[in-house]
Every structure is written in C-alpha cells, then in structure tokens.
Amino acid sequence: MASEPSDTARRHLPPERDLRTLRSAASGCTACPLHLSGTQTVFGDGPADAVLMLVGEQPGDAEDVAGEPFVGPAGKLLDRCLEAAGIDRRRVYVTNVVKHFKWVPRGKRRIHGKPNAREIRACLPWLEAEMEAVSPRVVVCLGATAAQALLGSSFRVSRQRGEFVASPIAPYVMATAHPSALLRQPDEDSRRVERARFIADLRKVAEVLVRPDVP
Ligand code: URA
C-alpha cells in the first residue's frame, strides 16, 4: 500500500522511548516507500550512554543485508579513521538519517540512490527519538544529507566543515565529510589528502570528548 505524502514515522513511535523499544518499533516502519525496497530497517547501533553520536545518510548495500549501520566499506574506513583519531568506536553511537537502503539496479548490483526530502522527513522522528534516548554531548554529521537534515537546508559542509556550530541538538555539533566521499576520490593522492582531513576533523572531536568542560 502506498504511503500518504504527509506520512512520517511519528505514528510508529512507541510510548517507551528506550533504544531497544525504538529499534523494535522501527523494524515495522512503513512511513515511506523505502520499506518496500530495503531488506530491513537499519536502526542505529551503540551504547545508550554514548557521549558521541555519528550520523550518516542511509544504510548501504552491506548494511541493508546485515541490519547494522556502517559495516560495509565506508564503515570499515570510518573505523580506521576513528582509531587514528583516538576515538573508541565501541563507545560511539552510529546511526543514519534514513533507516532503509534506497537503491537502483545496475546489472546485478544495487547502486546507492540519494534519499529525497520526503523520505528524509518521514524518517526523521526515528533520529530525533534516538537523540532523545542517547542524549549525546557531541554529534557529528557525516556528509551533506545528515548536516542539512539536522542543521538546516542552507548548511554547507563545504563552508563549515570541521567547525563546531551552535545547535540546539547537542552542546557540540560538527559536520564533516562522509567516509564514502573518501572512497570515491579518483586517485591515491587525493584519497590520502581527504583521509588526513577527515582524521583531523575527528581529532578535534576527540579533544572535545576528553575536555573536562564538556557539560
Ligand atoms: N553510508 C551511510 O551513510 N551509512 C551507513 O550506514 C553506511 C554507509
């Protein structure tokens, strides 16, 4: 059955808002048509008391199959960069703006399709509920989709990348590149440069995590 254009995940939100209950409720979400093409809802993952939340765009092919965020090539690169920046991935809550994989077929492959404004709007109540449940002190938006969903459509990662920006969502909020963008670099040199920039942004996050003034 087609979803109503005004439909959002809000009607699926359970009265109990702990992560386990939210994850279970999200598994049956039909707020946008992506539930028809994705294998399963890919909810966020990580400790409920995480100080740092990383927000990506949407699960990829590997995440769609595994049912967990950031476990494919971009996730593995993210893990290595977090480690290089001195951030323990096990203490990070990792999630996405959109919780179903959007894809288009190309031969036998499923190619990433960018979520549209309606799909993002429909899914946002899950991310808001995750933020409420985890209440992270530091939020990092990975890429433009996450940054614009959380910081407004006029936010430009190209202009404010790596800066902490004032936002009601958390005391410390930063947007940086998406690890997939690092993987898409055309040659080894630019991959190395972009990876170094990404790790430098994560190091700023690591500094804030250990700062005693973090509220
Ligand atoms: N890209 C994302 O934005 N999220 C994932 O979980 C995987 C790849």
Burial class (CB in 10 A: 0-12, 13-18, 19+), 93: buried
Residue 214 belongs to a domain: no
Q: How many CB atoms lie within 10 A of CB 106?
A: 8
Residue 40 belongs to a domain: yes
What's the structural domain count of the chain? 1
One digit per residue, the tens of pLDDT, for the chain of length 215 reads 444 446 899 999 999 999 999 999 999 999 999 999 999 999 999 999 999 999 999 999 999 999 999 999 999 999 999 999 999 999 999 999 999 999 999 999 999 999 999 999 999 999 999 999 999 999 999 999 999 999 999 999 999 999 999 999 999 999 999 999 999 999 999 999 999 999 999 999 999 999 876 45
Q: Which residue among 65, 89, 95, 96 has the greatest number of ligand 1 atoms within 8 angstroms of its CB, and so is best to mutate?
A: 96
CATH of residue 204's domain is 3.40.470.10
Residue 2 belongs to a domain: no
Query: Are residues 137 and 170 in contact, defined by beta-carbon separation less than 8 angstroms?
Result: yes
* Residue 95 in contact with ligand 1 by CB distance below 6 A: no
Domain of residue 166: give its range: 9-209
Closest CA to 171 of 201, 211, 203, 199: 211
What pTM was estimated for this model as a whole?
A: 0.95
Residue 120 belongs to a domain: yes
Q: Which residues of 57-88 are buried (b: 16+ CB within 10 A; e: fewer)?
A: bbbbbbbbbbbbbbbbebbebbbebbebbebe
Distance 104 CA to ligand 1 centre (A): 16
SS3 of residue 206 by DSSP: helix
